Amino acid sequence: MKSINPSRRQILATGATVAGALAFPMVASAQAPIVIKFSHVVAEKTPKGQGALRFKELVEKKFPGRVQVQVFPSSQLFGDAKELEALLLGDVHIIAPSLSKFDRYNKKIQLFDLPFLFDDMAAVDRFQSSAAGKSLFEIGRGFRGLAYWHNGMKQMSSNRDKLTRPEDVKGLKFRIQASDVLEAQFRALGASPQKMAFSEVYQALQTGVVDGQENTWSNTYSQKYYEVQKTIGETNHGVLDYMVVTNAKWWDGLPADIRTGLSEAMAEATVYANKLAGDFSKEDRQKIVDAGKAKIQTLTKDDVAAWRKALDPVLQKFEGPIGRDLIQAAQKSNL
Ligand code: LMR
C-alpha cells in the first residue's frame, strides 16, 4: 500500500514552493517598472500631444507600478530628424512622426503627401481603416506601425497679400517637411522648397529665411505661424497625419500581457486623438480668425481646379515608387 505520509523530500519540495511563492511578490514589487519613452515634436495642446497623454494615462491605469510612460513633447528629447533614428537605437520606444517623415524609410507611405489625393479627412480615415491603409504598418527596417493618428488637412501660408491661386506662390521660398513628394509639389508650382525641422519653422518665417509654409490649422495656431505670416490660403491641398510607431524588436520582446494592454490603450487613445483632431481644426482656425493677424483667404472651385491642374504632374511622377494600386485604393476612399 502506498504511504499517505509525505516523504521528507516531498515536504522539502513543497516548502521550497511555498517559500518561492511567498518570495515572488516581493521580487515582483521590487522590480523596476518598464519605462516607455514617447517622444514627439508638437505642443501638448494639439491632437498628438493630447493623444500621447491619454495613452500614458490608460497604460499606467492598466499596469500600476509595472509600466510607466514618459511623454516628451515639443522636440524636448529629439527633433524630427533624429526621432526615427533614436527609435531604432532604442533611445525612445514610441514616436508619432508625420507620414511625410517616413520618406527615407518607406516609399509607399509617400502616398499621403500626394497633393489633392484625399477630398477630406473622412476619406483619409476610410483609407487608413482599410486593408490597404493598414498594410502600410509593415514599414520594415525595424519599425512597427501601431496606429494612424489624425491632425488634419494642410493650408498654405505666406508673407504676401494673396494666396488663392498657384501663381501666388511662384518664386517664393517654402518650408517643407523632409519629403521628396512635398519638394516636387513646390517645384511644380515654381516655388523654392526648403526641408527644415519643425522646431525651426517659426524663426525661419519670422526672419524671412522662408516666405511661407504649409501645415494644419492646429500646428499653424499652436506654433503661432499666423503671427508671422500675412496670408493663409485655405487650400486643403493635402493631409498631415501621423503613424504611431515602435521599435519592432523591443515590442516583440515585451511580456505578452503588456503588449496586449498597450495595444488596447493605443486603440482607445487613437479614437480620442482622432476625435480631438477634428475639434482642434475647427477651433484653431477660429482662434486664428479672432486673433486678426494673418488673413484667411478661401478658394473658389475654379481656384481649386487650377491648383489640381498645376499639381497633377506630381501624381504622375510618384506613381512608380508608390504603386498605382495603392493610389487607386486611396482614391476610392473619396466617395
Ligand atoms: C511638421 O514638421 O510640420 C509636422 O510634421 C509636425 C508635426 O508633428 O505635426
Count of CB atoms within 10 A of residue 312's CB?
Answer: 13
Atom index in ligand 1 nearest the CA of residue 40 equals: 8
CA–centroid distance, residue 256 to ligand 1 (Å): 32
Q: How far apart are CA 48 and CA 34, in angstroms?
A: 23
Q: How far apart are CA 71 and CA 116, in angstroms?
A: 33
Please, are residues 48 and 242 in contact by the beta-carbon 8 Å criterion? yes
Q: How far apart are CA 219 and CA 288, in angstroms?
A: 11
CB of 182 closer than 6 angstroms to any ligand 1 atom: no
Q: Which of 95, 101, 157, 215 to mutate to test the pocket of ligand 1 (most atoms within 8 A of CB)?
A: 215
26 has pLDDT over 60 = no
pLDDT for res 228: 98
Atom index in ligand 1 nearest the CA of residue 100 equals: 5
Count of CB atoms within 10 A of residue 250's CB?
Answer: 17
> What average pLDDT does the structure give for the chain?
92
* Nearest Cα to Cα of residue 45 among 235, 296, 283: 283
The C-alpha angle 109, 98, 173, rounded to 5 degrees, equals: 100
Residue 41: in which H helix or E strand, if any? Answer: none
CB of 177 closer than 6 angstroms to any ligand 1 atom: yes
In the block, which residue shows the cell 485655405?
234
Q: Which of 39, 83, 181, 219 to mutate to test the pocket of ligand 1 (most atoms within 8 A of CB)?
A: 219
Q: Which of 94, 148, 151 to mutate to test the pocket of ligand 1 (most atoms within 8 A of CB)?
A: 151
Query: Which residue segments constitute the domains of the chain, with CATH numbers given?
Result: 8-331 (3.40.190.170)
Give the percent of the chain with pLDDT over 70. 91
CB of 205 closer than 6 angstroms to any ligand 1 atom: no
Atom index in ligand 1 nearest the CA of residue 97 equals: 8
Q: What sign results for the dihedral spanned by CA atoms 42, 45, 48, 51? A: positive
CB of 220 closer than 6 angstroms to any ligand 1 atom: no
CA–centroid distance, residue 40 to ligand 1 (Å): 9
Nearest CA to ligand 1 atom 3: 198
CA–centroid distance, residue 35 to ligand 1 (Å): 25
Q: pLDDT digit string (tens) for 47-70?
A: 999 999 999 999 999 999 999 999
CA–centroid distance, residue 57 to ligand 1 (Å): 24
Cell of 310: 498645376
Q: pLDDT digit string (tens) for 220-254?
A: 999 999 999 999 999 999 999 999 999 999 999 99
pLDDT for res 30: 61
CA–centroid distance, residue 138 to ligand 1 (Å): 22
For the segment 9-22, the average pLDDT, to the nearest whole number, is 38
Q: How far apart are CA 88 and CA 232, in angstroms?
A: 37
Residues 6+ apart with CB under 8 A from 325: 132
Nearest CA to ligand 1 atom 6: 198
21 has pLDDT over 60 = no
27 has pLDDT over 80 = no
CA–centroid distance, residue 198 to ligand 1 (Å): 6
Q: How far apart are CA 163 and CA 212, in angstroms?
A: 10
CA–centroid distance, residue 136 to ligand 1 (Å): 19
Atom index in ligand 1 nearest the CA of residue 197 equals: 2
DSSP state of 93: S
186 has pLDDT over 90 = yes
108 has pLDDT over 70 = yes
* Nearest Cα to Cα of residue 153 among 228, 244, 221, 214: 214
CA–centroid distance, residue 42 to ligand 1 (Å): 7
Q: How far apart are CA 50 and CA 170, in angstroms?
A: 37
Q: How far apart are CA 47 and CA 263, in angstroms?
A: 19
CB of 42 closer than 6 angstroms to any ligand 1 atom: yes
160 has pLDDT over 70 = yes
